[in-house]
A and B are shown apart, each in its own frame.
Chain A
Amino acid sequence: MTHGVVPPPATTAAVDGAMARRRGWGWLLLVPGMLYLAVFFVFPTVQLFLTSLYDPSGNYVQGYTLTWHFANYLDAIRDTWNLFVRSFIYAGIATGVCLLFGYPLAYAIAFKAGRWKNFMLVLVIAPFFTSFLLRTMSWRTILADQGPLADFLRTVHILPHDGRLLATSVAVVAGLTYNFMPFMTLPLFASLDKVDHRLIEAAGDLYSSPFTGFRKVTFPLSLPGVVSGTLLCFIPACGDYINAELLGTPKQYMVGNRIQSAFLTEHNYPLAASLSLILMAIVVVMVVAYVRRVGTEELV
């Protein structure tokens, strides 16, 4: 991607990429946006890093002093490692379930829906038409102890007499799954919709069973959608704290809950900043490892 230290010969410019890109002053168009990202993304991340090294004995009223106190990270991990583990397990399960159910949905829309295709697509994006918090509140009503679902499950003895749906890990994971399902389905649909039907027919002509055809032709072709779908689910799910707060109890809290309360309620900035950076570091490492493993060149 980058040309390295040695400037490339001028002739490569003409063949760089499918479309002829022009050299000149066009890159100036990039400047305002890049400045914006530098000032409001890079600089804040540096500030967050510095904040994480403040002296933890300071407080909100008197202010903190920067003492390069790296032990903040050890303290943060020691106190909250279980929240990290829980966050990644919840986010992982939710992403897995989204893939498991989002894939058939995307497949059905792309190949089986016929004239209902557009209608089904509108239903997929319908959750975006109304507020995320309201939808989660609405789940709270559905899963409530006196709610219809809990009643039904108790009647058919799936749930014990005093069993609850709300305020359990299941509710939190179900909420995460619900909220990120469209982010999984849409990229999957986008790549499945592009699959050339003739390739699948060719697989059939060459005596592959429908399942083998799917495994060897359709699924590999939909891999870019799988990658972007899982990333679009997993990354926000790791940092989410609304589902844990509205559908769970403090026993289900995730690392986002802790960051929020440390920052906004306790004003313990060093702790909140170290937690944020640890979360970001883990997510970046996981994403890079995953993208390398699946082997897609283009990140987005």
Chain B
Amino acid sequence: MATDVATPPLTGPGPRRVKAPRRSPTRWLSDHMVLLIGVLVLVYMVVPIGYIFALSFNQPTGKSANAQFSAFTWNNWTSICAPEGLCDSVKLSLEVSITSTILATILGTLMAFALVRHSFRGRGVSNLLIFLPMATPEVVMGSSLLAMFVSVGMDSVLGFLTIVIAHVLFCLSFVVVTVKARLQGMDSRLEQAAMDLYANEWQTFRLVTLPLAMPGIVAAALLSFSLSFDDFIVTNFTAGQSVTFPLYIYGAKLKDFPPQLFVMGTIMFLVSFVFVVAGEVWRRRRARAWAA
């Protein structure tokens, strides 16, 4: 190491040259090019959502609501539950995703703590087993679960229970990864400081570790909820006769497509949007309060 003199010093001797002006026309163009492409991609991502908004006010024409715009109407909004089974399917989806979120978040958080905080043999196998469900295409996961349910004779009880089992499975790995990332980024000296100040292990965990890990846990729960609520493929294999909201949409595409589905989509969008914005505002206000 000491004999290695080949690397030149970073700043050479002699006067440092003044940098050439950077504002050349090509650079200006390339700067704005990136932003322009970015904005166009965003438009591409947002346009279908705008269509859902617009179609929720569309007066359906004859055969199919999703064919064309015809006339403006409020009727779809005032008769959301009119299509048979629509509101029941939303209710079932909410029940399924809340149950699976709670279970997956608890199991996954425990696993993340074990992996980050404790040493034991077989970590490699554990990490692999957590990674594999994420690398499995959904159609494979759905069909393997169905193959198992059939072979153990559970195909007669396909429904809420089997959907929740499947949803917890695919949410679990995402929870572990999200919470693990948060725990790895945490400063362990804060906990040592708490212990130095005579906090016992439980107090340290409750007053220091858990509050610090909370943003990760909340993010994991939100991710689980949105994965579970919107899942179609795995649910299609494990639902039996039960109908969640995505399954209802899929079923409706085969028949007439009631415009109330677009209303429901719009409501979901607005609710999530308000949640995200409120969460961000709350986070900022708290950050400011901490800083003050």
Taking a contact as CB atoms closer than 8 A, the residue among B124, B126, B280 that contacts A30 in the complex is B126
Q: What chain A residues lie within 8 Å of B272 (beta carbons)?
A: 128-130
Interface of A is mostly: helix
Q: State whether A2 touches B145 (Cβ < 8 A).
A: no
Q: What chain A residues lie within 8 Å of B113 (beta carbons)?
A: 26, 29
Instruction: Select the stretch in A68-76, A78-86, A154-162, A271-279 that faces chain B.
Output: A271-279
Residue B241 CB within 8 A of the other chain: no
Q: State whether B51 touches A138 (Cβ < 8 A).
A: yes
Contact with A along B50-81 (1 / 0, CB 8 A): 01100100000000001110000000000000
Q: What chain B residues lie within 8 Å of A44 (beta carbons)?
A: 144-145, 147-148
A185 to B45, CA, bound (A): 11
Shortest Cβ distance from B184 into A: residue: A19
Known: A1-B123, A36-B169, A141-B51. A264 touches B237 (CB 8 A): yes
Taking a contact as CB atoms closer than 8 A, the residue among B49, B115, B168 that contacts A127 in the complex is B49
Residue B282 CB within 8 A of the other chain: no
CB distance from B129 to the nearest CB of A (A): 5
Known: A29-B113, A133-B249, A137-B257. A300 touches B169 (CB 8 A): no
Q: What chain B residues lie within 8 Å of A269 (beta carbons)?
A: 147, 150
Of residues 139 through 162 on chain B, the ones whose CB sits less than 8 Å from some CB of chain A are 139-141, 143-148, 150-151
Residue A124 CB within 8 A of the other chain: yes
Q: What chain A residues lie within 8 Å of B114 (beta carbons)?
A: 26-30
CB distance from A42 to the nearest CB of B (A): 7
Q: What chain A residues lie within 8 Å of B55 (beta carbons)?
A: 138, 141
Contact with A along B248-287 (1 / 0, CB 8 A): 0110010001000110011011001100110010000000
Q: What chain A residues lie within 8 Å of B137 (beta carbons)?
A: 235-236, 238-240, 256, 279-280, 283
Q: State whether B45 touches A127 (Cβ < 8 A).
A: yes
18 A-B interface contacts by CB (under 8 A): A2-B124, A30-B111, A30-B114, A33-B111, A40-B148, A40-B165, A40-B168, A44-B144, A50-B147, A108-B37, A133-B253, A144-B68, A256-B139, A263-B237, A272-B143, A276-B139, A287-B135, A299-B127
Which 8 A-B pairs give the minimum distances between C-beta atoms?
A239-B137, A26-B118, A108-B38, A1-B124, A129-B272, A21-B119, A27-B120, A44-B148
